Amino acid sequence: MAEIRARGIIIKQSDYGEGHRMLSIFTEEYGIIKAVSYGVKKAKSKAAASSQFLCYADFDLYKGANKDVMTVNSIDTIDGFYPLSEDIKKLSLCVYLSDITYSILGMNNPDARILHILLNSIYALAYRNENIAKVKAVYEMKLMCVGGYMPSVHECASCGSGKVFAFDLLKGGMVCRDCGGKYLVKMDKNLYRAIDYITSCEDKKMLSFNASEELIKSLGSLTEQYIALQMDQRYASLDYYKAMLEM
C-alpha cells in the first residue's frame, strides 16, 4: 500500500463501472500503468476534466492491494494538448501511436526515451501544424529504433555484407541480393536517405527534415508494414485513422 506521484500522459481511457474511468497512463517513472479515476461523471468532479485521453500531468496515485490497477487521487495537468480534441484525424492518429507504443513496451516497463519521442510527436501535431502523415511515419520508425527493432541500414541485416539493395521488412533492414526475402521494399534516393536520417538523428530532431508528399507516402507505407510484420499484429486503430483521413 503506497501513495506514489508520477508524471505521464494518458494514452487510453475507457468507461469503468458506474461513472468511473479506467486510464492507461504512460509515466516517466513506472512505464505504462493502469489506474481508475473514480466519479469522473459527477458534475463537481475535479478529476473529470483531467481524466482525458492525452492529458499530460502529474498524477497522485494510490497503490492498493491490486498490484495491477492503481487509484487516481489527483491530477495536476501540465498540458492537455487541447487543439487535438478538435481534430478527429490527429486524434485518431494519436490513438494509433498509443497502440503501437503499448505493443512495443507492454505494461510497467519504464522507457523515458520512448515517452519523450511520443510527447514530441503529439506536441508537433497539437502546436506545430506538422504534416500528420510525416509524424506518423517518423514516430513509427523512431519507436522501432528505440524499442529494440533498430533496422540495419548500412549493412545486410542477414549476412552483414556491405552490399545492400532493398529493405527487407521481415529481416529488419537493408539486405543484399542473396539474402532478400519476400517482403522487400526497393529504395530510391530520398527514401533511403530519410531512413538513414531518422534512424541516426537525435530524438528531438526526428521531424526536422523536409520531405515531399511522395516521400512521406512511401516512407509511411514502409514503416507501418515494418511495425505490423515485426510485431505480428494488425492494428484496428490504424484502419480507423485511415478511414478518418478519407472523410
Partner 1 sequence: MNELSRISWETFTLTGDIDAYLLYKSTTEFETQEDKDDTWQKSGQEALS
Footprint on residues 140-199 left by partner 1 (CB under 8 A)? 154-155, 162-165, 176-177, 189, 192-194, 196-197
Distance CA 87, CA 24 (A): 22
Long-range contacts of the stretch 168-175 (C-beta < 8 A, 24+): 169/222, 169/225, 169/226, 169/229, 169/230, 170/229, 170/230, 172/226, 172/230
Is residue 109 within 8 A of residue 32, CB to CB? The reply is yes
Instruction: Figure out which of the listed residues 41, 128, 148, 239 binds partner 1, where binding follows CB under 8 A.
Output: 128
Residue with cell 520512448: 114
239 Cβ contact partners less than 8 Å away, ≥ 6 residues apart: none
Would you count residue 156 as binding Zn ion (CB under 5 A)?
Answer: yes
Only segment of 79-87, 177-185, 206-214, 233-241 that touches Zn ion (CB under 5 A): 177-185
Only segment of 47-55, 122-130, 158-166, 223-231 that touches Zn ion (CB under 5 A): 158-166
Answer with the entry of Zn ion, partner 1, none that 164 interacts with (C-beta below 5 to 8 A by kind): partner 1
Answer with the entry of Zn ion, partner 1, none that 242 interacts with (C-beta below 5 to 8 A by kind): none
Answer with the entry of Zn ion, partner 1, none that 75 interacts with (C-beta below 5 to 8 A by kind): none
Which amino acid, one-letter code, is at 227? I
Answer with the entry of Zn ion, partner 1, none that 158 interacts with (C-beta below 5 to 8 A by kind): Zn ion
Give whichever of 120 and 158 is closer to Zn ion, judged by the CB atom.
158
Distance CA 133, CA 247 (A): 15
CA-based torsion, 6, 7, 10, 11: positive or negative: negative
Answer with the entry of partner 1, Zn ion, none that 159 interacts with (C-beta below 5 to 8 A by kind): Zn ion
Give whichever of 41 and 177 is closer to partner 1, judged by the CB atom.
177
Would you count residue 24 as binding partner 1 (CB under 8 A)?
Answer: no
